[in-house]
Amino acid sequence: MGAVVVLTLIGLTGCSSDDDSGDPETKSTAGRSQTVQTPRPPAGPDRVGPAPTAVPSVRDWKAVRGPGWKPTKYTRVVTDDSSLAGEAKLLASELKVDAAKGEARPGDVELKRGGGGAREGYVLSSREGQIKITGAADAGVFYGTRTLLQTYRAQGRFAEGTVRDKPDRPQRGFMLDIARKHFSASWIEARVRQLGDLKMNQLQLHLSDDQAFRIESDTHPEVVSDPHLTKAQIRRIIRLAKSRHIEVIPEIDSPGHLGAVLKAHPDLQLRSASGNVARGAIDIGKAKSAKIVDDLLGEYADLFPGTYAHVGGDEYQALMTEDPATSYPGLAELARKRYGGKADIQDLATDWINKRAAVLRKHGKKPQVWNDGMHRGGVVKPSRGREVAYWTGKEMGERKPEEYLKEGWKVVNLNDEYLYYVLGQPNQFTYPTGQRIYESWTPAVLRGTSAVPSRWAGRDRILGGRFAVWCDLAGAQSVGEVARGIRLPLAATSQKLWGSGEPDGSWGAFVKRVSEVE
C-alpha cells in the first residue's frame, strides 16, 4: 500500500447500530480515541484510480487524484434524512458496518437528498476517504448505493472521483408467469434482490392463466389453485420490493387465458357455433363474466399498492379464427345490437378491455394492455390513459409498432424475439441469450430485429422494457434452472435499459463484470 497518513480523531459521537451481525468491528466507538489509517494519494501512472465496476455501468465518471475510499472498522453509513433510513440500514448491513445519524467523518458513507435532476438519478462523490451519495429522490440514492456496493465487491475500494448517473428509460423490469408454474415466495424475493442490484424498478406477476390461478382470493376462492401464494406472502414480497424501489404489477389476463377461472365457472366458457370450447376464453357477452373479472381486478388492485396494473387482452380465441362472425354468431349479433350494424366481435372485445381498464382507474391504477388487445380500426376505440405492452407481431390482424407510436400510445418493450424466455421452447421460441440482447437489442427494437425510426424511439414514447419468463411447458426446467438461465439475460436487459441502448465494452468483458459485482 505504501506510506500512510495517521489521523487521530478524538471524542467522536456514538454510532447507532442497525447491524445484528455481532462483528465487534461494527460496534459503537463513542468516547475513545481512534486511529484511522488513510492511504496516501496514488503517485505516478497510478495517480487516479479505476472507473467504478457496476451493472449496469455508470453513465459518467470523472476520476481525480486521491486515495479513494475503503471501509475501515470505524466506517458508518450516515444519513439525517428519515426517508433514507432504510437505504442506510441496508447498505450498512451489506458492508458490515454501522448505520448512524449525525455529521459524516472520514471513512463514512453519507446519504443525502438534494438537488434537482432526474428522479432516479444520483451523484456519487468519492473525496478524501469519504463517500457522499446524493439524489433528488430516494430511488436515486438507492441506485447510488448499488454502484458503491458493486464496485466495492469487485475492487475492494472506490477510487477518487465523481459519478453522475441516471437511467435512460423509466420502466425497467422483469415479468414472471407464476400461473403455469409455481414459484415460491422465497424464489421471487431472491429475484427482487437481484432486480434491485441491477437498478430495475418493475416486477410484473402474471397471476392467472389456463393452467392455474396462483394467488389467494377472498372474492372468488373457488378459482384458486394449489399451490399458490398467500396474500401474506404477496405483502412480504411487496415490502421487500418497495425497499428496493421496485413496483410489483399484478396481471389478471382477460378475456383470454382464464381457463382456471372457467374451470370453476364452466357456464361462462365461450363456445363456438359448432359447440367447440374456446380454450381459456370467457364469454364476453355475459354480464356474469364481467362481474367475476372485475371482482378480481378490484381485489388485486387494492392488494398491490403501485401505479400500474395489467389487464391482458391478448390471444382471445374468438378473434383468432379466419371468420369470427361465423364461428361465434352470438357475439357478432350482440356487437351489432350494441354498437350498430358495422360493428363486429372486435368491437365487443375492445369495449371489454375499455371497461376493465376503467375498473382499474377507479382503483387508482394506470392500466397496461398487451398489444394484440389493441385492434386496428373498428367502431369502438381503445380508451386512453393506458400503456401498450408490445410483445409480438404474429397475431391475427397484426399491427406494426409504429402504428401505436403514431397514434400517440406510450409503449413498453417486451419483444418476444429477444426478451421471451419460454420454458420448453414451444412454438419456435428459443431461450434468449444475454449476448444477443447485449449486442443486438435496444428499447427501439420492438418487433423482430429492426428498430423503429429514431423519431419514434425516444424515452417519452418507448418507456422501457421487461424481460419475461413464460412457463408454457412448466416441467421443462426447475426453478433453479430458470434462475441460472435468466441471470445474464436479465443483466444484459438492465444494461440496455439503463444506458443509451449501446453495449458498454465487449460481451466477454460484460460477463466478467457481472461475475465481479455479484
Q: What is the dihedral of CA 499, 501, 505, 508, to 10 degrees?
A: 110
Q: pLDDT tens digits, residue range 425-434? A: 999 999 999 9
pLDDT at 21 over 60: no
- Gap between the Cα atoms of 155 and 517, Å rounded: 9
How high is the pLDDT of residue 1? 37
Q: How much of the chain, in percent, has pLDDT values that exceed 70?
A: 91
Full-model pTM:
0.90
Residue, of 16 and 478, whose pLDDT is higher: 478
Read off the pLDDT of each residue in 57-73 and give the average, rounded to a whole number.
95
C-alpha grid cell, residue 438: 447485449
Residues in the chain: 518
- Gap between the Cα atoms of 311 and 365, Å rounded: 11
Q: Could you tell me if residue 494 is left (phi over 0), alpha (psi between -120 and 50 degrees) or otherwise beta?
A: alpha
SS3 category, 508: helix
Listing DSSP states for 264-310 in one string gives H-GGGEEE-TT--EEEEEE-TTSHHHHHHHHHHHHHHHHHS-SSEEE
Of the candidates 55, 230, 173, 189, which has an alpha carbon nearest to the alpha carbon of residue 479?
189
289-308: buried (b, 16+ CB within 10 Å) or exposed (e) per residue? bbebbbebbbbbbebbebeb
Q: Could you tell me if residue 283 is left (phi over 0), alpha (psi between -120 and 50 degrees) or otherwise beta?
A: beta
pLDDT at 10 over 70: no
How high is the pLDDT of residue 395? 79
pLDDT band at 157 (very low <50, low <70, confident <90, very high): very high
How high is the pLDDT of residue 31? 37
Residue type, 456: W
Q: What sign has the CA pseudo-torsion 386, 392, 395, 400?
A: positive
pLDDT at 24 over 80: no
Q: pLDDT tens digits, residue range 32-43? A: 334 444 445 555
How high is the pLDDT of residue 16? 34
How high is the pLDDT of residue 398? 85
Residue type, 200: M
pLDDT at 2 over 60: no
Q: Are strands 109-113 and 420-422 parallel, antiparallel or unpaired?
A: unpaired
If residue 175 lies in a helix (H) or strand (E), which one and from where to where? strand 171-177
pLDDT band at 116 (very low <50, low <70, confident <90, very high): confident
CA-based radius of gyration for the chain: 26
How high is the pLDDT of residue 38? 45
Of the candidates 192, 157, 166, 197, which has an alpha carbon nearest to the alpha carbon of residue 71?
157
C-alpha grid cell, residue 136: 433528488
How high is the pLDDT of residue 394? 83
Read off the pLDDT of each residue in 210-219 and give the average, rounded to a whole number.
98
How high is the pLDDT of residue 6? 34
How far is Cα of residue 84 from the mean position of the Cα atoms in its chain? 21
- Alpha-carbon distances, residue 271 vs 91, 275, 348 (angstroms): 56, 5, 16
C-alpha grid cell, residue 209: 392463466
5-14, 139-148, 170-179, 430-439, range with the lowest pLDDT: 5-14
C-alpha grid cell, residue 6: 495517521
How high is the pLDDT of residue 310? 98
pLDDT band at 61 (very low <50, low <70, confident <90, very high): very high
46-50, 272-276, 406-410, range with the lowest pLDDT: 46-50
Average pLDDT, the chain: 91
Of the candidates 151, 173, 58, which has an alpha carbon nearest to the alpha carbon of residue 486?
173
- Gap between the Cα atoms of 381 and 349, Å rounded: 10
Residue, of 179 and 48, whose pLDDT is higher: 179
Q: How much of the chain, in percent, has pLDDT values that exceed 90?
A: 88
